[in-house]
Amino acid sequence: MSSPNLHPMLNVAVKAARSAGAIINRAALDVEAVRISQKQVNDFVTEVDHASEKVIIETLLTAYPDHGILAEESGSEHGAKDAESVWIIDPLDGTTNFIHGFPVYCVSIALAVRGKIEQAVIYDPSRNDLFTATKGRGAYLNERRIRVSKRTRLQECLISTGFPFRKGDNFNAYLQMMGDVMQRTAGLRRPGAAALDLAYVAAGYSDGFFETGLQPWDMAAGSLLVTEAGGLVGNFTGEADFLDQKECLAGTPRIYGQLVSILGKYSKFAGAGDKAAVRQAAAPIEGAISGDVTGDVVDEEGPEVTKPDVAMDIKGNNATF
């Protein structure tokens, strides 16, 4: 059922997300019967991903046949080519959680117009939680306005992240990042669905989020929710043009600034000096993992925490879309 308070395009996206959620919920009743294939090591796709994506694309293109599509499973195969308006779709974010019956997964749909995210829907079918945002109109959870948390001290904050899981991922750098963040916060969480992680930052359930290796469909909808809820989002160095850069950092304005000062050196855009320092610090971790070094790995004190001058506008890259 559509809401008269939502933007017309957002209403269509909500309809698409709920239709996909119904497919996911039916499959969750007997998840062991779901057919699963593997795209690459530890990267799974199910028949539910495909069915969810199909109904989303059909719903969106029925309403807007001149729009483009960028979807996780089918890429840009569907929709108009070179369209100014592009729907960015993750039909089931958290597939690994889903196939294990771990109820942390969602549907993510965003609309980019000339490279900027203007509409966002994240739907958690297991909890029937619907997160929505229209640029300039605020962020909502089940039609209730949401805001990022009011915490300003990092040591009081709960931060979410994602762990590397693909061949070639830099596990040692991630261990360093986690060590730097964990010793400065109240806790670090890894739920396993980046889109939902961003929605939770927007709702104030967590205070920040960081992860590398992400694709536009993982971040697009959640990034608008965060900014419309009063937060900031960008790459690890605080640059707002991040959707095609495979690294994402989000948080309340004060916490975002503090996380940039900690994580900036791990960005692929960091300076040569920072990268050299990270490589040097990784040496004892590599030795410990290989068995050459035993005992606890202790991180050196990180940089002084400051709040950067960060633009709030989210810019996509049309070439990527």
The pTM of the full predicted model, rounded to 2 decimals, is: 0.83
The burial class, CB within 10 Å (0-12 / 13-18 / 19+), for 137 is middle
Q: 3-state DSSP call for residue 35? A: coil
Q: 3-state DSSP call for residue 163? A: coil
Contact 231, 139 (CB under 8 A): no
CATH code reported for the domain at 8-146: 3.30.540.10
CATH code reported for the domain at 154-290: 3.40.190.80
Q: Tell me, what's the pLDDT at 173?
A: 80
Contact 44, 95 (CB under 8 A): yes
Q: Tell me, what's the pLDDT at 37?
A: 73
Q: What is the DSSP letter of 105?
A: -
Place 309 in a pLDDT band, splitting at 50, 70 and 90: very low
Place 282 in a pLDDT band, splitting at 50, 70 and 90: low
The burial class, CB within 10 Å (0-12 / 13-18 / 19+), for 280 is exposed
Average pLDDT over residues 2-22: 90
Place 42 in a pLDDT band, splitting at 50, 70 and 90: very low
Q: What is the DSSP letter of 191?
A: -
Least confident of 227-231, 253-257, 310-314: 310-314
Which residues, other chains included, contact 198 with Cβ-Cβ below 8 Å and sequence gap of 6+? 122, 209, 219, 221, 222, 223, 225, 226, 233, 248, 250
> Shortest CA distance to 197 belongs to which of 215, 222, 216, 178?
222
Q: Tell me, what's the pLDDT at 219?
A: 97
Give the type of residue at 161: T
Higher pLDDT, 200 or 288: 200
Higher pLDDT, 164 or 12: 12
187/172 Cα distance (integer angstroms): 20
Give the type of residue at 94: G
What b/e readout covers 9-47, taking b as 16+ CB neighbours within 10 angstroms? bbbbbbbbbbbbbebbeebbeeeeeeebeeeeeeeebbe
The most confident of the ranges 9-23, 36-50, 231-245 is: 9-23
pLDDT digits (tens, 9 = 90+) for 159-216: 999 976 666 667 788 888 899 999 999 999 999 999 999 999 999 999 999 999 899 9
Instruction: Compute the residue count for the chain.
Output: 321
The most confident of the ranges 57-66, 75-84, 281-290 is: 57-66
Q: Tell me, what's the pLDDT at 206?
A: 98
Place 291 in a pLDDT band, splitting at 50, 70 and 90: low
Q: Tell me, what's the pLDDT at 278?
A: 67
Q: Tell me, what's the pLDDT at 313?
A: 39
Q: Tell me, what's the pLDDT at 43?
A: 52
Average pLDDT in the chain: 85
Place 39 in a pLDDT band, splitting at 50, 70 and 90: low
Say what angle helices 272-290 and 171-182 make with each other, to 10 degrees: 100
List helix spans (H) across 149-252.
171-182, 194-203, 216-228
Which residues, other chains included, contact 304 with Cβ-Cβ below 8 Å and sequence gap of 6+? 261
List helix spans (H) across the chain.
8-28, 47-63, 95-99, 171-182, 194-203, 216-228, 253-263, 272-290
pLDDT at 315 over 60: no
What are the structure tokens assigned to 286, written together?
A: 């590599």
pLDDT digits (tens, 9 = 90+) for 82-123: 999 999 999 999 999 999 999 999 999 999 999 999 999 999
Contact 175, 77 (CB under 8 A): no
- The two domains 8-146 and 154-290 share their CATH topology (first three levels equal): no
Enumerate the domain spans of the chain.
8-146, 154-290
Phi-psi region of 28 (alpha: psi -120 to 50; beta: other; left: phi over 0): alpha
Place 274 in a pLDDT band, splitting at 50, 70 and 90: low
The burial class, CB within 10 Å (0-12 / 13-18 / 19+), for 138 is middle
pLDDT at 55 over 50: yes
